[in-house]
Structure 1
Amino acid sequence: MIIGLTGGIASGKSTIANMLVERGALLVDADQVAREVVLPGEPALEAIASTYGQAVLEPDGTLNRKALGEIVFRDKTKLTQLEAITHPAIRERMQQRIHKYAEQYPERLVVADVPLLYETEQQELYEGVMVVYVPAEVQIARLMARNTVSEEEAERRVSLQMDIEQKRKRADWVIDNSGSLAETKRQLDDFWKSKCLP
């Protein structure tokens, strides 16, 4: 079985992904693949540098994520430009990895961790979608604490994604991660048992 895993920024999606891996799932992480496709020598990095200028590159030729983030998180048009460069490369590499896992380990759950799954219309690629949910005010508080950003900046970053309530409504499975860790684990156990996963 191949499922998509998504949620909002600072919802605890990585924690849920790790819990699924602990239970035996195979993970394909879009963030990890996103880092791979912008390594020196990759076509996506060359396209980013030609679009945003050399200021987004470190002296050693690697991507300066902070400089790029300051450009794209202040301008939705520039963020859309960046996504048009990176998303096709990420999607292609992820699908290759997912299908390789599915062929090699047909009895195991394959989880594709995709932060912008609904925003990029990828839900049809999976047999179902699990959404990690916390209310927007919890997202903002966690993002402020995690990234030491202002409330205004946290709100802006949250607003760049689809509303978490919309994601929740569209999900096949919802893991509410706003309570205790024990409660989150219980929900995952219920999911695991319902799918009769080994």
Structure 2
Amino acid sequence: MKKIGLIGGVGTGKSLVAKLIQEHFNAYIIKADEVGHQLIKKGYKSYDLIVDDFGTDILDENKEIHRGKLSEIVMNDSEKLKRLNAYTHPYIYDYIKEEIDSVDDKGEYAYLILEVPLMIESGFDVLVDEILYVHTDVDIRINRLKGTRNYSEEKIQRIMDKQLTDDKYKKVADHIIYNNTTVEDTLKQIKKILGGGQYENN
């Protein structure tokens, strides 16, 4: 089973690429964001660490962590963001590593796709065999984020400023997908990279 890490800035379409690989190839998908959302719920160690540090004001009516409130606290404070990452990343890493090992042992998939927002910066790249960079022009990304997530340009710029530059992404990537036009074109590029569709399901 080949393990491929998806990287790219916000709004580039990493989730679309992951979905296309899942639909057209024999691939298992792991999204670190989804793992992280689970591991900050009540009953997990990260929950206790976060609440102990940031207080109960970040909790909702069900005493769960309100991700929006937490995001507002750490977005413009690098020190608080660093602490939050320290409370979550080690547990996310261990969880994902165990899941990768479990999936690999079963031998049911040709590919495993790992989507981590800050894969290189957080050191998750050691879990994969190859890195696939999803590139999309900045103006397309901005319009996409405004339309699908209702982000302001200021918020988009703040997020982009914290991520790697296009040149740095390309430098660490084994393959590049240019997701600027149609889904069909993106799929053609994926098929070329993954060996012409030899593992296609449909």
Q: TM-score range by the shorter chain?
A: over 0.9
Q: Which runs of 4+ in 1 moved over 3 A?
A: 194-198
Cα distance in structure 2, aligned partners of 1:176 and 1:124:
24
| Residues 107 and 34 of structure 1: CA distance in aligned 2, closer, same or farther (over 3 Å) | closer
Give 3-state SS (helix, strand or coil) of 2:163's partner: coil
What amino acid maps onto 2:43 in structure 1? G
Matches within 5 A, 1:2-151: 2-22=3-23, 23-105=25-107, 108-151=110-153
Give 3-state SS (helix, strand or coil) of 2:120's partner: coil
Give 3-state SS (helix, strand or coil) of 2:195's partner: helix
- Contact 1:11/1:132, CA 8 A, preserved across alignment: yes
**How much has 1:122 moved relative to structure 2?**
2.5
What amino acid maps onto 2:21 in structure 1? L
- Contact 1:130/1:175, CA 8 A, preserved across alignment: yes
| Residues 165 and 179 of structure 1: CA distance in aligned 2, closer, same or farther (over 3 Å) | farther
How many residues align? The count is 198
**How much has 1:135 moved relative to structure 2?**
2.6
Give 3-state SS (helix, strand or coil) of 2:133's partner: strand
- Contact 1:2/1:110, CA 8 A, preserved across alignment: yes
- Contact 1:139/1:158, CA 8 A, preserved across alignment: no
Aligned residue number for residue 157 of structure 2 = 155
- Contact 1:29/1:114, CA 8 A, preserved across alignment: yes
Structure 2: runs of 5+ lacking an equivalent: none
Cα distance in structure 1, aligned partners of 2:75 and 2:124:
22
Identical amino acids, percent of aligned pairs: 27
**How much has 1:107 moved relative to structure 2?**
5.3
Cα distance in structure 1, aligned partners of 2:167 and 2:11:
15
Cα distance in structure 1, aligned partners of 2:151 and 2:113:
30
**How much has 1:146 moved relative to structure 2?**
2.3
**How much has 1:89 moved relative to structure 2?**
0.6
- TM normalised by structure 2 equals 0.91
Give 3-state SS (helix, strand or coil) of 1:15's partner: helix
| Residues 128 and 194 of structure 1: CA distance in aligned 2, closer, same or farther (over 3 Å) | farther
